[in-house]
Amino acid sequence: MQSKLQIGIAGGIGAGKSVVCNIFRALGVPVYDADQMAKTIMVIDQSLIMAIKQTFGEESYFPDGSLNRQYLAQQVFAKGERIKELNALVHPRLEAHYQQWANDALKEAPYVVKEAAILFQNGGYKQMDASILVTCPVEKRIQRVLKRDPQRSESQVREIIGKQMSEERQEALASLIVPNDGLQPILPTILYWDECFRKGIMTP
Ligand SMILES: CC(C)(COP(=O)(O)OP(=O)(O)OC[C@H]1O[C@@H](n2cnc3c(N)ncnc32)[C@H](O)[C@@H]1O)[C@@H](O)C(=O)NCCC(=O)NCCS
Ligand SMILES: Nc1ncnc2c1ncn2[C@@H]1O[C@H](COP(=O)(O)OP(=O)(O)OP(=O)(O)O)[C@@H](O)[C@H]1O
């Protein structure tokens, strides 16, 4: 019997990972949204909450226990290397949670998808059978994000991009690339790969 695949989906801010993942979801494939799950873990794991408050200050959380994303984003994206401190706290817990999720999901599903902006940056792609990079020129990504997230300024988006691995370096590590510049259709590519992944095939 062929073993079932775990497929990573990466890409910089605004590249279109969520759009691509929604197509996989519509095809019935379980998708793990690491960005979203990180935020969930950050409000339910008490030892993590304590560690984040100690490292970044009590202001990291609102009095009702919800995450002060704007404050934390300023702390980790604005300057220096503080994002590494947050990653060191969050990522080991997130990884353990993903493994448990994948083991359960793969009992039923033909394959699973893990969406993570920093899959290549943090080495997570090595645990995947194949990893797809969603690409889009940086200026278009910025325009998309400004439209999607009106609360972010252009300079904040550029700061986040500055903390992410360049598309060129990610391309060198990716098994497959889905260009999502809005000019070429992505659906045929994804339908093709869905058929392959269901059969355990990862190469064209
Ligand atoms: C700092 C936080 C609270 C800011 O939240 P906010 O809602 O403003 O931003 P959002 O989560 O949408 O992220 C904005 C962009 O930054 C990217 N991003 C998120 N975390 C990271 C990171 N650790 N390194 C690089 N880019 C990141 C996202 O993928 C997205 O492209 C949040 O990003 C966070 O908790 N990050 C740490 C958890 C993490 O590592 N998540 C990514 C797991 S793959
Ligand atoms: N091909 C496309 N044509 C037009 N708009 C698009 C296209 N792809 C994505 N978008 C839009 O661009 C924005 C960014 O896409 P999406 O949220 O999927 O990016 P992402 O890679 O998941 O970003 P983030 O890392 O911030 O989570 C969204 O508003 C989305 O609807």
Q: What's the pLDDT band for 87 if we cut at 50, 70, 90? A: very high
Which residues does ligand 1 sit against, CB inside 6 Å?
13, 34-35, 38-39, 42, 67, 69, 72-73, 76, 83, 86-87, 90, 116-118, 160, 163-164
- Angstrom CA distances, 92 to 28, 86, 148, 193, stand at 28, 11, 30, 30
> What is the spatial distance between Cα 203 and Cα 176, in angstroms, rounded to a whole number?
9
pLDDT at 91 over 60: yes
Using a pLDDT cut of 70, give the percent of the chain over it. 99
- Tell which residue, 93, 25, 15, 16, has the closest CA to residue 7: 25
- Mean pLDDT across 109-124: 95
| Residue whose CA lies nearest to ligand 1 atom number 19 | 35
DSSP, residue by residue, the chain: -PPPEEEEEE--TTSSHHHHHHHHHHTT--EEEHHHHHHHHHHH-HHHHHHHHHHH-GGGB-TTS-B-HHHHHHHHHSSTTHHHHHHHHHHHHHHHHHHHHHHHHTTTSSEEEEE-TTTTTTTGGGGSSEEEEEE--HHHHHHHHHHH-TTS-HHHHHHHHHTS--HHHHHHH-SEEEE-SSSS-SHHHHHHHHHHHHTT----
pLDDT value of position 78: 83
How many angstroms does the Cα of residue 4 sit away from the middle of ligand 1?
29
pLDDT tens column, 36-71: 999 999 999 999 999 999 999 999 999 999 999 999
Tokens of 166: 């360049």
Task: Give the confidence band of 1 by pLDDT, cuts at 50, 70, 90.
Answer: very low
pLDDT digits (tens, 9 = 90+) for 160-190: 999 899 999 999 999 999 999 999 999 999 9
Cα 93 to middle of ligand 1, angstroms: 15
Residue bearing the bigger pLDDT, 202 or 175: 175
Nearest CA to ligand 2 atom 25: 13
> ipTM of the assembly?
0.94
Name all domains of the chain by residue range, CATH numbers in brackets: 5-198 (3.40.50.300)
pLDDT of 2 > 60? The answer is no
Q: Return the CA Rg of the chain.
A: 17
Are 135 and 180 in contact, with CB atoms under 8 Å apart? Answer: yes
* Binding-site residues, ligand 2, Cβ < 6 A: 11, 13-19, 35, 117, 144, 148, 180, 182
The per-residue pLDDT for 198 is 96
CA 118/CA 61 separation, integer angstroms:
24
